[in-house]
Every structure is written in structure tokens, then in C-alpha cells.
Structure 1
Amino acid sequence: MKKPSVQTPITTRGEALDRIKTAMVEKKLTQAELADASDCHEKTIQNLLGGRSVRDQTLFDVCMVLGLDFHGLRDAWHGESVAVENGQTNGAGHEGGVAPLYMGAYARVAVDHYIGSYLTLRRSFSLPETVVAYRTDITWDPEWPSLLFQERDRPDAPYAHRGRLYIPASSSFIHFVSLTKGAMRMIVVSQIDRAGEMRGIITTLNKQRATFIPVATPILYARRENFDGDAFGEITPKNKAYGKYKRLLDETIEEGYARLIS
């Protein structure tokens, strides 16, 4: 089982910069490669590595690529010190604001219960009898008021997505949308229930032989305080977690959270 990494807290911009540079060395990324992976201009990365002020969205994108903790690094970058409990941050600068109207015009106070980490399950798009399991973190972005999601610990890490949550006021379903250079992926799931679960369907593109084709499959998010006992990666029937994971995905269809029409 792969557990999420635990990083030493940082408190200054210098420490945050050292953490970024170390991660770049570990991942063997140049400035240009980091800029491309973060979907930003190389000059922006040069400003970042020079210790100059950059947008929080840039910090978020860089943290996603490098596998760093966004909240801890952001607070250190701005010289803020916050308490950390069970992996969640508490303190100034983490509340307030209303999402844009086109995202559902939701306020943080109304969606706080979505913030956290989730075991994420879906079927493999190319391997039969295989469930793909990874982690998704949901946080609040005060700079562009809205919920953000960030995928971690995927077996195909280069294809991990990050994006925003769209929450219609009149629907029992919400949308996870990622948009990068014109390429869009959307996940439609039920609003979180008392068990901390969201179920629905994912639609995206998957590489099949020489080309990419549209695919869809059921998906489930299950809230976790920790991931002890959970397995990440490509889970086959040989893995003891397979039966439980498969049952959870089967229930997504059986209980009417999604319907696949052939």
C-alpha cells in the first residue's frame, strides 16, 4: 500500500523556494519543463524561482506537478503561519468569497463539508478486471473563490488532473471539471452524502493503440481522514482490496447514481 508522503512544515518563503527547487531536482525538471507541465509561461517560473511574488494559482499548479502540499507552501510563501491538524489547515486567509455565477455562486461556508481527501475509484479504461485507485484532495481557493480538486498517487501520474468544482443550486449532482489548453474532462457525481461518498460517472479521453478515444465509466469518491488500509494503483482480483472496490463501483450503477447505455 502506498501512503501519502508527510513533509516537514515550512514557515518562510526561502524554505518554500528550497522545497520547490529540491522537488525539481528529484523529478529532473528544467524551468521550461516545469512551465510546460504547469501550463504557464517560463518567465512566470523564473519569477517564482527568483523568489518574486506570483499568483496563488501558479503556486497551486506548481505544487500539483511537483507533488508538494499547496496550503503549507502557499502560507510559507506569504509569510503566514497556521496550525495544522490531521492534514487540514486552520487560520486566516482560508475563508470568504463566493464562486462565480457560472460555477454555481456558492459560498465557502456552504461547501466546507467537501474539503478533504478522498479515495477515488474507477474501472481501468484498458485493462480488464482492473480497478484504478488513487487520492483526490479538495481545497478552497480564496484567490479565485471556488473549490479545487487535485489528483494524487495515480499509477499514471503524468495524466493526473486538477480543476474546479461546479455546484448547481438546483441539482443533486455536482461537476468536477478540468480544462487544460482546450482539453476538457468532466466528472458528474452526486452531492456528498452522510457517509462521505460521491458517486457518478467520468467522461474523458483515453489512449487506445495509436489514438485517443472518448470513454466513460462509473466513479466513486469516498472521504478519508487517513488512507490506512486503502490500496492505490491498478487493483486486480489478486489484490485483497479488489472485491470491496468492485462492489462499491457496481453499487454506483445498481443504486441509480449513473447509467451506461450501450
Structure 2
Amino acid sequence: MAAMKASVSRSARDGAINQIKTAMIEKKLTQAELADASDCHEKTIQNLLGGRSVRDQTLFDVCMVLGLDFDQLKHAWNGGGNSPNTPPELLGEGGGVVAPLYMGAYTRAAVDHYIGSYLTLRSAFSRPDLIIAYRTDIVWDPDWPSLLFQETDRPDAPYSHRGRLYIPSSSMFIHLVSLTKGAMRMIVVSQVDRFGEMRGIITTIHKQGALLVPVATPIVYAKRENFDSDLGNITPESPFYEEYRKMLDETISEGYARLMT
């Protein structure tokens, strides 16, 4: 009987465990690193991921590190599945269809037009004449109801980001946010237009010599069905350079972003 009870307990907690594992992958945290950031022993994290009982304080600390909703995770951890505050009509067969309130409480139906693949352009931080072109995929994540973005085909692949879209209802701009070990990168762009484009600014940290300094530059997302166009480091000699440079320059000249000096 005891073994059956433990099995049921683990099964009931699978949803919460999957949320924790997904967030660990997004933030590139090992069990040891999560334990260190949560101020607990690595064995405690192993117990957590194994579905064994842990203190509420441990759950809370892990949620703070991973950016998870403590009340929702605790409810799922205790076998409750979806949050009791979520009306049934806001849940689909494949999971939630409404993003958390702190992300804008947007519904999947309202943001379906964001889903797709985008040509992504920005200037290189070390060489303003060099344009970095890569691909960004935006999908709906039913397990953590929200839009999820993933960068691919970057020339500096180890620095590719994965994060969430925050869409306030009262703004013309949205936020693409990634958080790794306390380091946050934010991209603020216009809502996707009828041409499938979003324009704005990226703010992040860039290494200059031995120092890390804050930097900002215009960024453009242009939805594409295929990626036959050139990606990677685009130099002035590239046949795509003038087209890409024009898109970035228009981001400033048309008022999507402003760089103050």
C-alpha cells in the first residue's frame, strides 16, 4: 500500500516536476547550480525532482530562482493539476490557453499571429558596420501558458537565448525576456504588424576586453516562411547588406526606437 501511495504521489506531481525541469533547461541550470542559487543541498533538489516531499520553503526558493509562480506550482505539487483559480473554459486539451497575469494575461487565440519563424537583424556590438542575422522561432507553450521564443542559427551559437513574450494590453510594444542565472536580457519591439514585422531595441551586456558593459542597438524581426536568405555575419560586401541595413535604419527613422546620446 505504501508503495502504491508513493507511486500515485509521484504521478500527481509530474506536472510540477516538468515545469521545474523545463525552467532549469531554459536557464541552463544544473541540479548543483539550482541548489546553490536556492540555498539548499543538492540532495534536496534531487528529492524534489524525484517527486519526494520537500518543505514549502524549498518550493518557494526554487520558484524564485526559476521565475515560476509559487501558488500554481505548489497546487500542482500537491496533486491539484491546474491552478484552482483558472476557470475551466480557459484551459484547453493541450494545457493552458491563458498566460499568467504578470505576463499580460493574453490568450492563445489573441496571439496566434505571433507564432512562426522570424529573420532577426541587429548590428554587431563590437562592429557597428557588421549586421548579425539569425532565426527566431516563436511557439505557444501549453505547459507554461505563454509565447516562447528560441534563437537559432546565430553565428555565436553558445549565446543563443530562449525566453518568454510579455504582452501588456495597454501598450503598442511587447517584451521578449530571457533570464539566465540572474542575468536578464530584454528586447522591446512593436506589436507584429500586417507585414509580419516587429521593430524596436535590444538591451543586454556585452564583453569589451576584460569588462562587461551594458549595450543597446536597434533590432528587427521579419516573419519568413523559408530561410534561403543569408544568415550569420553580414558584411557590407554581402548582397543582403543594403536591404538589412535599410530595415535597421528605418527602425530609428520611423520612430520604433530612439537612441539617446
1:183–1:96 distance in 2 versus 1, CA, 3 Å: same
Letter in 1 for 2:196: G
* Match status 1:221 vs 2:211: no
Letter in 1 for 2:179: L
Partner of 1:143: 143
Partner of 1:242: 241
Does the 8 A contact of 1:35 with 1:41 survive in 2?
Answer: no
**Considering only aligned residues, what root-mean-square deviation do their CA atoms show, in Å?**
2.5
Does the 8 A contact of 2:96 with 2:143 survive in 1?
Answer: no
- Distance in 2 separating the partners of 1:36 and 1:225: 26
Identity %: 67
Post-superposition CA distance 1:207-258 (Å, at most 9, x none): 1111110000000000011112x11111010111000000000000000000
Gaps of 5+ in 1: 1-33, 45-51, 55-91
Which consecutive segments of 4 or more residues in structure 1 shift more than 4 A?
A: 34-37, 92-96
Partner of 2:256: 257
Partner of 2:200: 200
TM-score by length of 2: 0.66
- Distance in 1 separating the partners of 2:140 and 2:50: 20
Letter in 1 for 2:234: I
- Distance in 2 separating the partners of 1:35 and 1:110: 27
- Distance in 1 separating the partners of 2:251 and 2:226: 23
1:147 aligns to what SS in structure 2?
A: strand
- Distance in 2 separating the partners of 1:170 and 1:40: 38
Does the 8 A contact of 2:163 with 2:177 survive in 1?
Answer: yes
1:37–1:200 distance in 2 versus 1, CA, 3 Å: closer
* Match status 1:134 vs 2:134: yes
1:128–1:257 distance in 2 versus 1, CA, 3 Å: closer
* Match status 1:39 vs 2:38: no
Matches within 5 A, 1:53-72: none
- Distance in 2 separating the partners of 1:186 and 1:37: 15
* Match status 1:212 vs 2:212: yes
Matches within 5 A, 1:116-135: 116-135=116-135
Does the 8 A contact of 1:96 with 1:107 survive in 2?
Answer: no
- Distance in 2 separating the partners of 1:224 and 1:202: 21
1:95–1:198 distance in 2 versus 1, CA, 3 Å: farther
1:158 aligns to what SS in structure 2?
A: helix
Post-superposition CA distance 1:25-45 (Å, at most 9, x none): xxxxxxxxx97983242799x
2:98 aligns to what SS in structure 1?
A: coil
Gaps of 5+ in 2: 1-23, 35-48, 52-91
Structure number with larger C-alpha Rg: 2
- Distance in 2 separating the partners of 1:223 and 1:53: 41
- Distance in 2 separating the partners of 1:253 and 1:216: 13
